Structure 1
Amino acid sequence: MKAEKQISILDQIPNAHEMPEQALPTRVGAKREGWSRRRILGLATGAAVATGLGVLDLLPWSKPRAASAASYTAWSTCHGFVTASQVCYPATALFSGNCSGTWHRNDGGSGTCYNFRYTHYATSCDGHNAWKWTGGSTTSTRRKCSDGWYEYNDCGGGRVSRFSICRTAI
């Protein structure tokens, strides 16, 4: 009887440096020429995100804001703008929609056929943006009056440009 050579399990493990006999090629490690579908989709997605962020940067609310209202100051009185009977003189000023907190707005916006702008006067009253109205001894009403300007334009030729005051209780 002829002795059979016993094959070890270690002999069955393929060698990393030599290709086994009758080996079939695999697609896992095959390199492709040109651009893959994944690369094209990645570039298209990146371009879409960059374009979207660029468009968002054009919108009015993405613009940097002006200095915060905390840096504004109120004067105890403003000669020429204070009367005992009239709250936040003059009465011809625009008093509606022009407040940002307790200070005059300093922003703007636009739509398809209109644009508007609120501008505060940072130093209109002796170096201050606002003044306090106490109404004298005949009333308990107390107000802070922060002044500025309002402008509005539309495609139909409508135009408003007037002095405005943000009037808030103190």
Structure 2
Amino acid sequence: MTAEKQISILDQIPSAHEMPEQALPTLVGAKREGWSRRRILGLATGAAVATGLGVLDLLPWSKPRAAAAASYTAWSTCRGYVNASTVCTPSSALYSGNCSGSWHRNDGGSGTCYNFRYTHYATTCDGHNAWRWTGGSTTSTRRKCSDGWYEYNDCGGGRVSRFSICRTAI
């Protein structure tokens, strides 16, 4: 019987402290020339995001809303309405919550089960958006009446759609 040396499985695991006799150099830490794949993908992603944001800036809803109010105009008198007791007509219009400054709102919003929209009418008052109501000699009331529309819908079938007026003191 020959005496063979038994090799344990643990003896076959390389040492972390000693280099093997026939070790080959590794390329793991070698620096490469040129741009890496990660850098190229990062630059491409950055360019795509910048282009996308630039395109979004061209869309109509990305423009500031405050600039639109400057184009509104108002008559200096009430254009043919002589009834000094009636401030802004018709009296059936919605007068609550529809002002943005002294002009009719032009925006909207929504929640879990509802949405609403305020729309201004730029030329509803004989080519202008608003009337200046001075009330004549019988009253000291002074108002600007900016015209628009209000719409509201909810999941329960509730719907409101009516003419509205932003009434502000002048």
Distance 1:126 1:146 in 2: 12
TM-score, normalization: structure 1? 0.64
Change in CA separation of 1:154 and 1:14 when aligned onto 2, cut-off 3 Å = closer
Q: For structure 2, which runs of at least 5 residues remain unmatched after alignment?
A: none
Higher mean Cα deviation, 49-58 or 93-102? Answer: 49-58
Count matched residues: 170
| SS of residue matched to 1:71 | coil
Deviations 1:110-131 (A, max 9, x none): 2222111111111111211000
RMSD across aligned positions (CA) = 11.1
- C-alpha deviation, 1:141, in angstroms: 1.2
| SS of residue matched to 1:163 | strand
Change in CA separation of 1:143 and 1:3 when aligned onto 2, cut-off 3 Å = same
**Preserved contact between residue 119 and residue 150 of structure 2 (Cα < 8 Å):** yes
**Preserved contact between residue 103 and residue 166 of structure 1 (Cα < 8 Å):** yes
Distance 1:5 1:79 in 2: 116
Deviations 1:42-62 (A, max 9, x none): 699979989998999999986
Q: Percent same amino acid among aligned pairs?
A: 91
Deviations 1:88-135 (A, max 9, x none): 111111111111111111111222221111111111112110001111
Change in CA separation of 1:23 and 1:157 when aligned onto 2, cut-off 3 Å = closer
Change in CA separation of 1:120 and 1:13 when aligned onto 2, cut-off 3 Å = same
**Preserved contact between residue 148 and residue 164 of structure 2 (Cα < 8 Å):** yes
Change in CA separation of 1:115 and 1:80 when aligned onto 2, cut-off 3 Å = farther
| SS of residue matched to 1:145 | strand
- C-alpha deviation, 1:31, in angstroms: 2.6
2:105 is the counterpart of 1:105? yes
Change in CA separation of 1:39 and 1:82 when aligned onto 2, cut-off 3 Å = farther
**Preserved contact between residue 121 and residue 129 of structure 1 (Cα < 8 Å):** yes
Distance 2:159 2:153 in 1: 5
**Preserved contact between residue 84 and residue 139 of structure 2 (Cα < 8 Å):** no
Change in CA separation of 1:149 and 1:9 when aligned onto 2, cut-off 3 Å = closer
Change in CA separation of 1:156 and 1:130 when aligned onto 2, cut-off 3 Å = same
Deviations 1:124-149 (A, max 9, x none): 11211000111121211100000010
Aligned position for 2:121: 121
TM-score, normalization: structure 2? 0.64
